[in-house]
Each structure stands twice: as C-alpha cells, then as structure tokens.
C-alpha cells in the first residue's frame, strides 16, 4: 500500500532540492569517478589505466598490470623486478592465520575460508587501521602476495597434506600452482593462470568492487573492505558463476545434449551461468582470450570435450537469447583443464581481483565521500500504537 503524502513526491522533491531516481540494481547509475578502468559495453572494450586489455593480455604479466593499476604507469624492468621481489618475500602467512585456517572444517567452502583468513590477516597486520596511502599500498602488496598462499594452504589442510612453503624463485602464478600441488607447473599452465588473473584484475563498479568502495567510504580499513569484497564475489550471479558454469558443463556432458539442456533451463526460467552481463551488450573482451586459452589447453591435453560443449552452448545461447558469454564462462574450462578443484575457481577469481579492489579502496580513501544512496519507501506512515494487551 503506498504511503499517503500530503503532497505528491513530484511536489515535494523540488523543495527538497533532490533529483531522486529509483534505479533497481543501480543499473546505469554513475556512483563514483575512477581513473582505474573504463568499460565500453556497447563496443565490448575494456581499458586498465588507458591500456586496452587486449594489449595487456597479449604482452603483460598479472603483476605488471597490478603495478600499472596502482602507480598509473607501466613499470621499467628494474621497477617490475623490485615489485615482484617485494611481493614474493611476503607470501608466507602469519602463524595466527595458519591457526585460523587449520581450525576450519575440511568441508568449509573455500570462499568462506578465504573470507575468514583475510579477516584474520587484518587482525595481525601491524598497519591494520592506518588508511594513509602509503600504508594502504603496503597492505595491498601483502594481500596480493598472501591470498594465493591462503587458497593453497586451505586446500592442503582439507586434503590432510603437508604444507608446501612458497618458493621466492617462482613467479606469482607458478608459485601458487607449486604450493597447491607440490610440483612445479608447466610454463603453459602458469601463463594461463597468470593471464586469467590479469583478466579478472579490475572491472569498474561491479558488485564486489562497489562493496569495497562503500566500506572504504566510511574510512574503514583495507582488510575490512577486501573481506567485504570477497563476501560479495561469492554469489552465483557474480564470481560464483565460474564454479556454477563448470558444474553446468559437467551436467550437460556432451555438445549434443546442449539444446535439450537449454530448453529445460529456459522453460524453468533458470539463468545459464557464464552468460549475460550488466554492462556488455556484445562479447566480453576478456572472454575472447579465455576462449582461446581454453581451446589451447584442451588441444594440449588432447581432450576438447568441455571446449566443444562450451562452443555449442555459446551458439545456442546467442541464437535463443541473444546473449554472449562473460568472463566466467571459459575461465571455468581453463581452470578445469589446469586440474584445479571446481570450488577453488571463485577463490582464484578473488585472488586476481584483490589488486583491483585494493586500487579502488585507495582511490576512495584519497578522494572520499561517504557512499549513501536513498531507497524508495513503499510502506505505511503514522500507524497508531496498540498496547500489547489489546493486540
């Protein structure tokens, strides 16, 4: 029942000097200024600090792109080497965080374990509540270095395996795969994971990044904001889609089963995971690279089954719904081809996105305005009080 106003909202709003608008899901609403990335949804283009993501995916490493995002400049060789070395020396976890991970049940969701561990990191970080730009940069570096260790450590604990210490000689992605499996990965595998993190790095005010900015806008600290970002990313409409997409491919089984699967799903009004996007109206430029990587890894493994199912599903979804796949769709096949456990897919999205979240936290802390939108009230007003003995 709509509230009875003495004046209509149209009469009241000008007096309140407010240009309120109710935009569900904030679709199309510009809620902040940023110099970090730009998305052209109509043309399917994405830039990090003015560099086209296609050029970065082709030529850059993940940490090179992180440096670009944080310092607004491509690093010289000596700068990149120093940056990589600083992060590599910070990969180990504090004992309190290891204890926190060790206490978690083996069947805990890895995204929940990651959320817990980052929160625990915030309790032992010596600069936890210092939100100066210098402290934020140092904390961001520690988080980027430590999140892969958290994911690998939790997975080793739940499999009742000895921990594998980080190897400072290995690059960011190779070291994660080494800590996870205990064996040094192939160059192809490490490059594929590194590029997936580059593609996940930064994407404007998506739900999890917006979450981190809202937290940072209260002048809360970096770890609080990143913990909140992990929480938002966990959902299947956002980062959780890469896991759901792989489960869906396994359920479909073969390319020939795609049409009937889509028939049933659409009849039941289900969302097909890995398809559609709030901003892109054409191909997600990140999917272009992930599709290529999925094909390369499948050919290398001599097993193109999941790639073939994926391609068939792409055709079906475009023909039936006019929808393109998004970043999560082929990332699923890439990670599955690397032999990664499906419930580690979204934590790996978080590993890649943490540097982007941190960049937005720093940007918000430097140019802050508390983020506080309004809601359209749809309830009643001035309801009469009724004593409890008369209810």
The first and second tokens of residue 135, run together, are 């402290």
DSSP category for residue 94: P
Candidate list 7, 10, 21, 25; residue touching ligand SDX; CB under 6 A: 25
- State the minimum distance, in angstroms, from the CB of residue 347 to ligand SDX: 15
Which is nearer to ligand SDX, 194 or 202 (by Cβ)? Answer: 202
Q: Given the rule CB under 6 A, which of 54-62, 212-220, 268-276, 296-304 is the region that contacts ligand SDX?
A: 268-276
The first and second tokens of residue 79, run together, are 């700068």
Q: Say if residues 110 and 343 touch (Cβ distance below 8 Å).
A: yes
The size of the chain, in residues, is 391
Candidate list 276, 285, 347, 352; residue touching ligand SDX; CB under 6 A: 276
Residue nearest to ligand SDX (CB): 276
- State the minimum distance, in angstroms, from the CB of residue 127 to ligand SDX: 28
Q: Is 271 in the site for ligand SDX (CB under 6 A)?
A: yes
Of residues 130, 238, 308, 343, which has the active-site annotation? 238
Q: Which of residues 345-384 bind ligand SDX (CB under 6 A)?
A: none
277 a catalytic residue: yes
Q: Is 277 in the site for ligand SDX (CB under 6 A)?
A: yes
Q: Given the rule CB under 6 A, which of 40-48, 129-137, 144-152, 323-331 is the region that contacts ligand SDX?
A: 323-331
Which is nearer to ligand SDX, 5 or 38 (by Cβ)? Answer: 38
Q: Is 273 in the site for ligand SDX (CB under 6 A)?
A: yes
Q: Say if residues 95 and 136 touch (Cβ distance below 8 Å).
A: no
CA distances, 263 to each of 255, 321, 322, 341, 383 (Å)? 14, 11, 15, 29, 49
Q: Is 56 in the site for ligand SDX (CB under 6 A)?
A: no
Alpha-carbon distance 310 to 76, whole Å? 39
- State the minimum distance, in angstroms, from the CB of residue 7 to ligand SDX: 33
Q: Is 323 in the site for ligand SDX (CB under 6 A)?
A: yes
Q: Is 206 in the site for ligand SDX (CB under 6 A)?
A: yes
Q: Is 191 in the site for ligand SDX (CB under 6 A)?
A: no
Task: Tell me the CA end-to-end span of the chain in Å, nearest whole number.
Answer: 21
Nearest by Cα to 331 from 358, 304, 297: 297
Of residues 172, 328, 360, 365, which has the active-site annotation? 328
136 a catalytic residue: no
| Helical residues (DSSP H) of the chain, grouped into ranges | 9-16, 53-59, 62-71, 77-88, 95-103, 110-124, 133-158, 172-181, 187-200, 207-217, 222-233, 241-252, 258-267, 285-301, 305-321, 327-337, 345-366
328 a catalytic residue: yes
**Could you tell me which residues come within 8 angstroms of residue 129 by beta carbon, excluding any fewer than 6 positions away?**
221
Give the residues lining the site for ligand SDX (CB under 6 A).
Answer: 25, 203, 206, 237-239, 241, 271-279, 321, 323, 326-328
Please give the positions annotated as active site: 238, 277, 328
């Amino acid at each position: 029942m709509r509230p009875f106003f003495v004046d209509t909202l149209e009469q009241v709003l000008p007096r309140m000097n407010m240009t309120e608008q109710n935009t569900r899901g904030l679709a199309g609403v510009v809620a902040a200024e940023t110099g970090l990335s730009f998305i052209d949804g109509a043309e399917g283009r994405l830039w990090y600090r003015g560099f086209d993501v296609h050029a970065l995916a082709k030529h850059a490493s993940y940490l090179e792109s992180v440096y670009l995002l944080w310092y607004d400049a491509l690093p010289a060789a000596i700068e990149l080497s120093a940056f990589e070395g600083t992060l590599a020396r910070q990969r180990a976890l504090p004992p309190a965080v290891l204890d926190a991970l060790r206490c978690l049940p083996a069947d805990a969701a890895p995204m929940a374990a990651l959320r817990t561990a980052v929160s625990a990191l915030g309790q032992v970080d010596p600069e936890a509540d210092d939100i100066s730009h210098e402290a934020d940069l140092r904390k961001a570096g520690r988080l980027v270095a430590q999140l892969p260790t958290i994911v690998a450590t939790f997975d080793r604990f739940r499999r009742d395996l000895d921990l594998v210490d980080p190897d400072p000689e290995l690059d960011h992605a190779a070291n994660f795969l080494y800590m996870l499996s205990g064996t040094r990965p192939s160059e192809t595998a490490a490059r594929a994971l590194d590029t997936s993190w580059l593609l996940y790095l930064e994407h404007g005010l998506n739900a999890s990044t917006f979450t981190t900015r809202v937290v940072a806008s209260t002048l809360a600290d970096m770890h609080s904001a990143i913990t909140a970002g992990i929480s938002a990313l966990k959902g299947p409409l956002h980062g959780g889609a890469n896991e759901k997409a792989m489960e869906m491919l396994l359920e479909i089984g073969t390319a020939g089963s795609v049409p009937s699967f889509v028939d049933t799903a659409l009849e039941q009004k289900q969302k097909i995971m890995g398809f559609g996007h709030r901003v892109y109206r054409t191909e997600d430029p990140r999917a272009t690279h992930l599709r290529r990587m999925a094909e390369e890894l499948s050919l290398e493994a001599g097993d193109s089954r999941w790639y073939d199912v994926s391609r068939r599903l792409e055709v079906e979804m475009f023909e039936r719904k006019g929808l393109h796949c998004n970043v999560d769709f082929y990332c699923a096949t890439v990670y599955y081809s690397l032999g990664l456990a499906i419930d580690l897919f979204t934590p790996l999205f978080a590993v890649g996105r943490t540097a982007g979240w941190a960049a937005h936290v720093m940007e918000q802390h430097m140019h802050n305005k508390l983020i506080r939108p309004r809601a359209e009230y749809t309830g009643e007003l001035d309801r009469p009080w009724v004593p409890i003995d008369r209810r």
